[in-house]
Amino acid sequence: MKILKGKVALITGGASGIGKETALLFAKEGAEVALADIDKQGGQAVMETIREQGGRSIFIHCNVTSAEDCQRAVHLTVESFGRLDILFNNAGIIRRADVIGTSEEEWDRVMDVNVKSIFLMSKFAIPLMVAAGGGSIINTGSGWGLKGGGRAVAYCASKGAVVNLTRAMAIDHGHQNIRVNCICPGDTDTPMLRNEASQLGQAEADFLREAASRPLGRYAQPIEIARAVLYLASDAASYVTGTALVVDGGGLA
């Protein structure tokens, strides 16, 4: 039996990487999926793939740092599918620099995309989840939200905020039957990971070799993170809330 049958999910950053694989997996497991992303071409391609495979999906062009866009994305999801059960706040960016090398504009941009977007999407989604009888919110954190990392101050600060925002939301909304959890991936083979090498002025092969330096001896594939998100979204995690689930091949160990 498809474990998300009858559920409606809204995924930010759904055009590529972890968001894309999660959208495809959710649809495979029976969910109707709304994709919100600033990347029109990528988002529409994921939507079409889901539809070609017999699923129901819409794409919403959305700047997740805009309150107007976030509210519109939530409302279009409910207008299209009648309800909202799952919100995966996955949109994110990284800037690799220390405090001296990070501009104020870069700091604000990272915090807006990685943290403010979760606040905005959740602000508009939660009342509609309450109306549907509850729901599950999953936020994308990082291993660097639980420990520090070099030359990534804005990113580390933003992901630390995501982890504690998750806990606070879980406390506030548990009585409304809304579970709020955080996924903390290690290095994962996404366009963002490969962009880090460029930002650091490092050869991509060398950077990826370092990323694989963990007990399992490799970095993750997006589908491996998507499976963990599926668990948190599903009834299999019905008593799990306020947690930061680390999926990093043993990197933090």
Task: Please report, in tens digits, the pLDDT of each residue of the chain (253 residues total).
Answer: 899 999 999 999 999 999 999 999 999 999 999 999 999 999 999 999 999 999 999 999 999 999 999 999 999 999 999 999 999 999 999 999 999 999 999 999 999 999 999 999 999 999 999 999 999 999 999 999 999 999 999 999 999 999 999 999 999 999 999 999 999 999 999 999 999 999 999 999 999 999 999 999 999 999 999 999 999 999 999 999 999 999 999 999 9
Evaluate whether residue 215 is within a structural domain.
Answer: no
Instruction: List the one residue out of 222, 145, 147 whose CA is nearest residue 230.
Output: 222
Task: Identify whether the C-beta of residue 110 lies closer than 8 Å to the C-beta of residue 60.
Answer: no
Q: Report the interhelical angle of 17-28 vs 222-233 (nearest 10°).
A: 50
Evaluate whether residue 46 is within a structural domain.
Answer: yes
Evaluate whether residue 211 is within a structural domain.
Answer: no
pLDDT for position 46? 98
Q: Report the interhelical angle of 153-173 vs 104-111 (nearest 10°).
A: 30
Evaluate whether residue 64 is within a structural domain.
Answer: yes
pTM of this prediction exceeds 0.85: yes
Evaluate whether residue 3 is within a structural domain.
Answer: no
Q: Structurally, how many domains does the chain consist of?
A: 1
Cα 67–chain centre separation:
18
pLDDT for position 1? 87
Task: Identify whether the C-beta of residue 69 lies closer than 8 Å to the C-beta of residue 91.
Answer: no
Say whether 155 is catalytic: yes
Task: Identify whether the C-beta of residue 12 lies closer than 8 Å to the C-beta of residue 36.
Answer: yes
pLDDT for position 50? 99
Evaluate whether residue 51 is within a structural domain.
Answer: yes
Note down the domain range covering 125.
8-188+220-245
Task: Identify whether the C-beta of residue 33 lies closer than 8 Å to the C-beta of residue 59.
Answer: no
Instruction: List the one residue out of 94, 92, 97 whose CA is nearest residue 201.
Output: 97
Evaluate whether residue 139 is within a structural domain.
Answer: yes
Q: Which two tokens stand for residue 50?
A: 């889901």
Evaluate whether residue 232 is within a structural domain.
Answer: yes
CATH of the domain at 65: 3.40.50.720
- Count CB-CB contacts under 10 A for residue 111: 17
* Whole-angstrom Cα Rg for the chain: 17
- Secondary structure tally for the chain: helices H, strands E: 9, 7
